[in-house]
Chains A and B, each alone.
Chain A
């Protein structure tokens, strides 16, 4: 599972950087590299685009994992690049943007939009896997998540828009409930689908998400 990101329109990035001349670009060696949105190659390409727009590049770097503790260290290691920059362009997920922003007293501009947590099914083709609803129902749905994979997040079976195994929204999207039905049937567990699923608890996770989980086992000693 990784954070799936997509490059913003260059017009939008140019707009966000209006008035800033010195720019430092930060990529990420983890999810954004795997998505080919914030790796070495994309950072180098962005550098050329910004230079063509008349920006002065004070530095470019790809930190190992933009969201974690090492980012502040990487920022310290490249102090001059950041000190000389009017703005930092983050080619990372939104988590990376926020980690950098909390470390730097500089505007941090996202170059990417963060789409969802998912996986790459084929080259360049990404699917969302889990919406982190805080109330897992996979035990009744044959390991396929209807909250995520059904366009409407339905819990009690397919809607009238199901069409030959596909969803009415198009894009060749599979109907989650057709898949769930097929698997449950193959396993002889259709009784799971007959069970009434009550409305979800949308406060299962407080918003903004914040939780204190007591330590268990030996760690609790």
Chain B
């Protein structure tokens, strides 16, 4: 069985995905508005799973909204909040409701979020979750029991091309491929030369790579990420470009930078597509794509 997203990957087109962050609460209107706005511009929409360990409306619920509004969802699934029983059960439910793309993640640490005293689960982690999905596809659960009705998913994972040190990250990337990952959405990249070097390594494997594009909205944000977010490196030239923006125009500059990167990745066929993360600014994703000439 092929999902529309998997078909897009296999067709060899330059694939575009973006992400939807579910709300804290049950007012789903802004999320639905973002889905409506993006659904015809992208090949699939990720729905984040208690992102940054902040409790929200669940990713599974969000993917159903994406389906209902006629778009293709990618279910982000972390191992932080559920043990192997709950993860498998949610995969069965997702499949039953037509949610067939899964991004397997370990999940952020509990202390970075808003429920700092919570018990972290991590019964499984990303590589084991990938194995689990592939195992369910054989018609058995992790307990070795038969499933009444098989499942089939298009399975992805993440990789951090700017990780420091990089070598252990690449080793894990290979383990994820062996575990069955078909596609990767990367952590944000900003230095295309570094990314080209990563792609030289990644090209030896039969997997699709979507470069992570995180919209920069100010020089301050770029500096903050450089100092505080592991695996993110914004080069000085980009920070200077944001700094040089006239007052009130930094967002516009960020859109131009993101668009320019996407255009270069696409025209030079550096990777198989992009995953655009416009954290809190989903409404400008169409502008980013326009700036990329798409």
- Chain B residues, CB < 8 A from A181: 165, 167-168, 171
Selected from B109, B163, B178, the residue in CB contact (under 8 A) with A169 is B109
Q: Which residue of A lies closest to B84 (CB)?
A: A199
Mask for B103-136, Cβ within 8 A of A = 1, else 0? 0001111011000000010111111100100000
In the complex with contacts A169-B112, A198-B128, A159-B168 CB distance below 8 A: no
> Of residues 119 to 172 in A, which have CB atoms within 8 Å of B's CB atoms?
151-165, 168-169
Selected from B109, B128, B160, the residue in CB contact (under 8 A) with A199 is B128
A181 CA to B169 CA, complexed, in Å: 10
CB of B39 closer than 8 Å to a CB of A:
no
The 3 tightest CB contacts between A and B, nearest first, are: A157-B172, A163-B230, A156-B127
A158 CA to B80 CA, complexed, in Å: 15
A164 CA to B80 CA, complexed, in Å: 23
- Chain B residues, CB < 8 A from A158: 163, 168-169, 172
- Chain B residues, CB < 8 A from A152: 80, 106-107, 109, 120, 122, 125
Interface centre among B120, B126, B230 (most CB of A within 10 A): B230
A178 CA to B169 CA, complexed, in Å: 9
- Interface locus among A40-48, A108-116, A188-196: A188-196
CB of B290 closer than 8 Å to a CB of A:
no
- Chain B residues, CB < 8 A from A153: 122
Selected from B168, B174, B178, the residue in CB contact (under 8 A) with A177 is B168
Number of CB contacts from chain A to chain B under 8 A? 95
Q: Which residue of A lies closest to B79 (CB)?
A: A152
A177 CA to B165 CA, complexed, in Å: 10
Q: Which residue of B lies closest to A181 (CB)?
A: B168
CB of B164 closer than 8 Å to a CB of A:
yes
Q: Which residue of B lies closest to A164 (CB)?
A: B164
Mask for A188-216, Cβ within 8 A of B = 1, else 0? 00100110111110100000000000000
- Chain A residues, CB < 8 A from B126: 156, 159
Selected from B112, B165, B175, B187, the residue in CB contact (under 8 A) with A165 is B165
In the complex with contacts A160-B231, A169-B111, A199-B84, A194-B165 CB distance below 8 A: no
CB of B158 closer than 8 Å to a CB of A:
yes
Listed by A's residue number, 14 A-B pairs whose Cβ atoms lie within 8 Å are A151-B109, A152-B109, A152-B125, A157-B169, A157-B172, A157-B175, A158-B169, A160-B230, A161-B109, A162-B230, A164-B164, A168-B109, A177-B168, A198-B128
Q: Which residue of A lies closest to B132 (CB)?
A: A199
In the complex with contacts A156-B125, A199-B128, A178-B178 CB distance below 8 A: no
The distance from the CB of A181 to the nearest CB of chain B, in whole angstroms, is 4
A41 CA to B123 CA, complexed, in Å: 43
CB of B142 closer than 8 Å to a CB of A:
yes
Q: Which residue of A lies closest to B120 (CB)?
A: A152
